[in-house]
Amino acid sequence: MKLMLGILKAFLKSRIRDKGALFWTLAFPIMFLVIFGLAFGGDSSSSVSTGAEEIRYAIYLSGEIDEETESNIIKASETMGLKPLLVYSLSDLGESVEKGYDGVEFGISLMDKEGLYEVKAYFNAGAMNKMQFYQSVVNNFVTEFRKTTAGFENIITVETVEREFTEQPVTNTGYILSGVIAVSISLSGIMALIISFGYYRKQDIIKRLIVTPMKGSQFLAADIINNLLVSIITIIIIMLFARLLFQVSFNINFLYFAITYFSSMFLMMGLGGLFLLLFREPNAAMNAANIFSTIMMFFAGVYFPLELMPKWLQRLGYILPMTYVAENIRFSLGQDYMQLSRFWTTNAVFILIAAVAIPLMGKTIFKLEQI
């Protein structure tokens, strides 16, 4: 333990001495925060002129709605690519939207009041980066309903109902900045072992350490702790800036956040280590990791919903690890809802992958340096 603490101290001093690397480690995520906070932080309600694709929504029809109208609504929904789930009370409708039961993404209630139709749209307040898209879908639905069923004269203005699930209201800015934190964790993790192991290997430092009493596991553990500490400091700074610049108050569940943070960092460290095994030269490994990270940032639903992308890109997004890092971070910061079974399963998978990838990388590199 004393030897490992000594190695950790040396790592920290080396990180502090490298002023350029330290500056960009802290400044890069803050730049992201400011840029995306200003770009997407508004609460604009302008609609998006895009069609829906295979979207599941819940719908409640009052008892006055006849079977013919119900049939027309279902046909109109299917024509638009919507998949209706009929519920039998307003409470069931609200709960379906809030909890996302059966894949429900939003809800609509339709009531017939003396020949006039009243439409209410129910949205999950946590899905802030999808809100404009869902509003556009509902507007298209109402337009189709007016043309095919209700006629153009007898319909009441659509009312929006947001289902809150946190003590503090979810904002678009908070939702986006949660994604910035997920990006920061992912980038810190995937670059961590490439920077240390890659360049220490290139400079023959690992080769010289092998002949000392130090174990490879001690060196690896100290390096991991060093990167975790730097990343934690970065996240704290991001949250402080989010509070000062954009008045974002995260509703943090510290247990869930800690679990998500460590599992995500370990996962990304493991992926970074695999890049280091594939590319012996650290610069090549870093370039490959940068390309992979860029793909994840823009196709993992961090800054805009996956539903806006073509189906094949959606499938790509669902296999990228940052998609699930962002989901877990938003949930632990109170910016989105997810089922606990999904949360625990995702984090367990992260840990299992890291438990295989990180030791494999460490053992392989130390063996190669002994040759």
* Higher per-residue confidence, 174 vs 126: 174
Q: At which of 144, 163, 182 does a domain end?
A: 163
How many domains does the chain fold into?
2
Task: Kindly report the CATH number assigned to the domain that includes residue 75.
Answer: 3.40.190
- Supply the angle between the helices 2-17 and 216-246 in degrees, to the nearest 10: 50
**Cα dihedral across residues 321, 323, 327, 330: positive or negative:** positive
253 within 8 A of 267, measured Cβ to Cβ: no
The answer, yes or no, to whether residue 2 has pLDDT greater than 60, is yes
pLDDT of residue 353: 95
Domain with 97, as residue range(s), is: 55-163
Query: Do 149 and 220 fall into the same domain?
Result: no
152-176 tens-digit pLDDT = 444 444 455 544 444 455 566 777 7
Please answer whether residues 276 and 198 qualify as being in contact, where contact means their C-beta atoms are separated by less than 8 angstroms.
Answer: yes
Torsion angles phi and psi, residue 106, rounded to 5: -160, 175
Please name the residues in contact with 274: beta carbons below 8 A apart, sequence gap of 6 or more: 357, 361
Question: For residue range 33-59, what is the model confidence (pLDDT) as tens digits?
Answer: 777 666 655 443 333 333 435 688 989
Q: Tell me the CA distances in angstroms from 64 to 68, 87, 116, 216, one per residue in order.
A: 12, 15, 11, 73
121: in domain: yes
In the chain, the percentage of residues whose pLDDT exceeds 90 is 12
pLDDT in the model for residue 254:
92
Buried b (16+ CB within 10 A) or exposed e, 264-289: bbbbbbbbbbbbbeebeebeebbebb
In a domain, 151, yes or no: yes
Query: Does residue 227 sit within a domain?
Result: yes
What does DSSP say about strands 116-124 and 106-113: parallel, antiparallel, or unpaired? antiparallel
**CB neighbours (10 Å) of residue 185?**
28
Same domain membership, residue 146 and residue 278: no
> Is 224 found in the same domain as 82?
no
Contact (CB, 8 A) for 266 and 358 = yes
pTM for the model stands at 0.65
Per-residue pLDDT tens for 179-218?
888 888 988 889 888 877 777 777 777 777 777 776 777 7
Residue 47 lies in a domain: no
User: Do both 230 and 348 map to the same domain?
Assistant: yes
Encode pLDDT of 254-298 as tens digits: 999 999 999 999 999 999 988 888 887 888 888 888 899 888 888
